[in-house]
Structure 1
Amino acid sequence: MRMQVPFPQFWFYLLLAVFPVVKPQVTSHKPTLCDPTVQQYSGYITVPSGSSVSYYFYWFYESRNDPANDPLTVWLNGGPGCSSMLGLWNEVGPCRTDGSTATYNERGSWNKVSNILFIDQPTNTGFSYAGQDQYSTTGSGAPFYQAIQRFLKYYPKYQKNPFRLFGESYAGHYVPYFAYYIFYQNKNLPSGNVPVNLVSIGIGNGITDYLQQIQYMEPMACNSSYGSVLSAADCKKMRDNTPTCLSMISKCRSTGANADCVSATSWCMTNVQMIYKNSKRSIYDIRTSSDPPENYVTYLNKPEVQKAIGATPMTFQACSSGVNSRFSQTGDFSRNFAPSVAYLLNNGVKALIYAGDADYYCNWMSNLAWTDQLNYPLSNNYSSRPLLPWNVDGKEVGQFKQGGNLTFVRIYAAGHDSAYFQPEVSLSMFNTTIHDLAF
């Protein structure tokens, strides 16, 4: 028996077939959470995703200082598969919460000196959804670029602002490649696109060059300024296993084969990096066994909050295991994005690499090491310089070195999410590099 469609519905479905409902490229809500003194926008950016589309969630705050001229900073968290709401609510953004109410991050919000845009990517991270799954950093570059293009076209008053791409942890992969992709598109600007005024990148406690960085897991666990947290036997095992690990990562980079990169990542994680778990300490803070609270997850699961920010109703999760698993299938973790940083530096884009010095997982020693190994024409202006004390308000709060468009900062007494532990210091660092001042 054929389905009978009532007459009014027949015309509705006929019109829908002829004129399908297409979501706008950008939806815009104007929440007033955390900082009602500035203009906010939030919602979704529709981006191409294979044969379909993805909906990338964004939340933007204008600068409290001079929004017409201050930089437009884009912030990305890592994972892969972790929402940039972590950065907004626990780190560099205007928000803090106990899970019930939202307050302004008076001690360290970067919107005091910059416009700041938080984006959940790749697809199915945080509030973002739908579309074709992504399996690699390079595969995520084009959709991210489209998201930036559509944001700038929808909000054209920010097109001329200096553009700064910052992120943390696995964004040590994202930021270099996405910035490189933006730079390349600027040089070969597709018809209808707007140039992105890219001036600098920033990576906090990032994983960028695994081959260099894995060599500093044992020194951080066994010989940091916080003392050893492992037994002598575990330290020896890490040292003994590191050469095999390096050989496997080198093979991954030589062949480029997914299978080789998956094997390298798995073996190195098990036999070098995660021996650290025997310490019973947090991988993100060698000083403790606990991690910062995620009260923002509770808050963002409130229906009234999701409605206020224009988020599609869902169970919000800080990180997606599915996205992480898909990236693991291509061995993306072991792939090297330091050359993208070198390329950007050589073309006048400045870079800030910073790290809280209590983080084990993406520790400061390893980040200093890969930056010292960068190969680009101005590299000797950086690598030959020593670490110097960094002072804020007359107090030594870390160390730094600077040269050849590159700055490295070690932040004392801070874990993986350095701005959570040292908000004023983090803001001072960010503000200093905005104005291109020497430390």
Structure 2
Amino acid sequence: MDDPRSMAAISPQITHLTDDITYNRFSSVLNSNYSVRFVNPQLCDPNVTQHSGYLEMGSEKYFFWFFESKSKPEEKPLTVWLNGGPGCSSMIGLWQENGPCRSENNGTKVVYNPYSWTRFSNMLFIDQKCQPSGVGYSYGSKIDSQVETSAVAFYEAIQLFYEAFPKYSQLPFHLFGESFAGRYIPIFADYIVKRNLEVVNQMIPIQSVGIGNGWINPLIQLKYAAQMACESNYGKLLPEYLCTQMRNNYKRCAKLIEKCYASNRRNDCVAADGYCNANVDGLFSRSGRNVYDVRQSSSTVTPPEDFVNLLDHPDLQRAIGVKHMKYQQCADPPYYAMINAGEGMRNSAPYLSSLLNHGVRVLNYVGDADYLCNWFGNYALTADLKFNGSVEFNNQSLRPWVFESKEVGQIQNTSLITFLRIYEAGHEVPYYQPKNALAMFAKWVLNRAL
């Protein structure tokens, strides 16, 4: 990005730096091909310890940005955040949602987010790299389009982080994310649980997973596309003939997804993806509404993306340990690699059931103004989960979720699993309802009743 502005004009927290970056370096003892190179930024919240840079795993370089909790970081849990896509950078969460950073003035000013989840947890944001090309600031050469295979790299990345920063390795571990991370998270967490049972490497003390507006079980979720488009509390967004067409087309869509689930073959899953997106989900485009927030027009960019201007600026990049590159918020190559491998139509729900049977708590929270991964479908897939405790969950019903003496959503839960509908929130819940999302997160990771 050719920009004559110095970062001093963009934020007093950054001064213009030289082209050289002075890194801290850590070399792994466990794997001679692994290392960490990082800097210690003072952006957004200069009062907490920060590390940012690269988890270097052979040819693959995973960008990370870590913030200590604002209070008692040695006692608070460690939460890893992943955005979805596939192919989207976790800097979205850091700058738009639950991280301590916000941009103002059309991406020319860095400010602190008072609703940052770092108030209650140490936070690690990773640009999860979906091969064959990078996400966000991550880069490398390895070709990998299967989420199950990516779980190995994620596990090793956390092990490398622990080795470099051992003070966080004994803290309760939570894995949070949204959207297509509804596929990443169940698979990654289940892989962690299974590796923990081997007691070979450092245990990852995983306690819970949290998924916001996740893409988890397409067979069930697409069944409720018409209900969200035509029968939600935000009004009827499509004419009746399109509502009927969407419902009718789901019948063939369901058969194609069932074939994908049964065979797990790439061709079957790609076929299901192509038909269902064009003939069920795709019909919503005729509403003229935004798929991420049905209250907005399709032309509205929500949330605003001015933070991309900052992340593309060479001075900010140097401040966080990145040699100048084009920042990619959501990269096309990894998206198409995953979709063309059939990942968009595979079922991640069985992994959630496995986690629950191993005692890992599951939070499924959903902003109810999102069409793309709507709350009707997420509630239905949660009720459909089969695990030791599913009968207890399904013997209940949704009840008001009250915060500060106001009903702000609906909740249904047991000690193991919680479904939370959050009113007046789109796809990125912490952006639309920051105070309510922070209250949810704080109580969840501190294991207090919601």
TM-score, normalised with respect to structure 1: 0.92
Larger Rg: 1
Listed one character per residue, the Cα deviations across residues 59-106 of structure 1 (whole Å, up to 9, x for unaligned) are 000001210010100000000000000000000100000211111101
Corresponding residue SS for 2:102: strand
Amino acid at match of 1:114: S
Corresponding residue SS for 2:229: helix
- Which residue in 2 is equivalent to 1:302? 313
The answer on whether the counterparts of 2:174 and 2:445 sit within 8 Å (CA) in structure 1 is no
| 1:404, distance to aligned residue in structure 2 (A) | 5.1
Which of 240, 244, 257 pairs up with 2:252?
Answer: 244
- Which residue in 1 is equivalent to 2:163? 153
Which of 121, 131, 146 pairs up with 2:128?
Answer: 121
- Which residue in 1 is equivalent to 2:176? 166
Question: Quick one: distance in 1 between partners of 2:63 and 2:323?
Answer: 9
Say yes or no: does 1:398 pair with 2:409: yes
The answer on whether the counterparts of 1:126 and 1:320 sit within 8 Å (CA) in structure 2 is yes
- Which residue in 1 is equivalent to 2:227? 219
The answer on whether the counterparts of 2:34 and 2:160 sit within 8 Å (CA) in structure 1 is no
* Counterpart mapping for 1:40-119 below 5 A: 40-48=50-58, 53-98=59-104, 99-106=107-114, 108-119=115-126
Question: Quick one: distance in 1 between partners of 2:252 and 2:291?
Answer: 22
Amino acid at match of 1:142: V
Listed one character per residue, the Cα deviations across residues 27-55 of structure 1 (whole Å, up to 9, x for unaligned) are 1210001000100000000125xxxx210
Say yes or no: does 1:318 pair with 2:324: no
Question: Quick one: distance in 2 between partners of 1:435 and 1:72?
Answer: 11
| Aligned alpha-carbon RMSD (Å) | 1.1
Change (3 A) 1:408 1:132: same
- Which residue in 1 is equivalent to 2:10? none
- Which residue in 2 is equivalent to 1:259? 267
Listed one character per residue, the Cα deviations across residues 258-282 of structure 1 (whole Å, up to 9, x for unaligned) are 0000000110000001100001111
Change (3 A) 1:251 1:24: closer
Amino acid at match of 1:409: L
Change (3 A) 1:178 1:24: closer
Question: Quick one: distance in 2 between partners of 1:153 and 1:195?
Answer: 12
Amino acid at match of 1:332: E
Listed one character per residue, the Cα deviations across residues 346-404 of structure 1 (whole Å, up to 9, x for unaligned) are 11100100000000000111111001000112111112211110111111110101115
Which of structure 1's runs of 4+ aligned residues deviate more than 3 A? Answer: none
| 1:435, distance to aligned residue in structure 2 (A) | 2.4
Question: Quick one: distance in 2 between partners of 1:280 and 1:158?
Answer: 47
**Structure 2 stretches lacking a partner, 5+ long:** 1-31
Question: Quick one: distance in 2 between partners of 1:311 and 1:353?
Answer: 34
The answer on whether the counterparts of 1:381 and 1:404 sit within 8 Å (CA) in structure 2 is no
- Which residue in 1 is equivalent to 2:206? 198
- Which residue in 2 is equivalent to 1:268? 276
- Which residue in 1 is equivalent to 2:143? 133
Listed one character per residue, the Cα deviations across residues 162-205 of structure 1 (whole Å, up to 9, x for unaligned) are 00000000000000000001111111133xx2110100000000
Q: How many residues align?
A: 411
Question: Quick one: distance in 1 between partners of 2:128 and 2:447?
Answer: 29
| 1:149, distance to aligned residue in structure 2 (A) | 0.5
Identity value in percent: 44
Which of 375, 379, 382 pairs up with 2:393?
Answer: 382
| 1:23, distance to aligned residue in structure 2 (A) | 7.8
- Which residue in 1 is equivalent to 2:20? none
Amino acid at match of 2:381: W
| 1:338, distance to aligned residue in structure 2 (A) | 0.6
Corresponding residue SS for 1:41: strand
TM-score, normalised with respect to structure 2: 0.90
The answer on whether the counterparts of 1:28 and 1:41 sit within 8 Å (CA) in structure 2 is yes
Question: Quick one: distance in 2 between partners of 1:61 and 1:23?
Answer: 26
The answer on whether the counterparts of 1:77 and 1:83 sit within 8 Å (CA) in structure 2 is yes
| 1:438, distance to aligned residue in structure 2 (A) | 2.2
The answer on whether the counterparts of 1:82 and 1:126 sit within 8 Å (CA) in structure 2 is yes
Question: Quick one: distance in 1 between partners of 2:144 and 2:285?
Answer: 30
| 1:424, distance to aligned residue in structure 2 (A) | 0.4
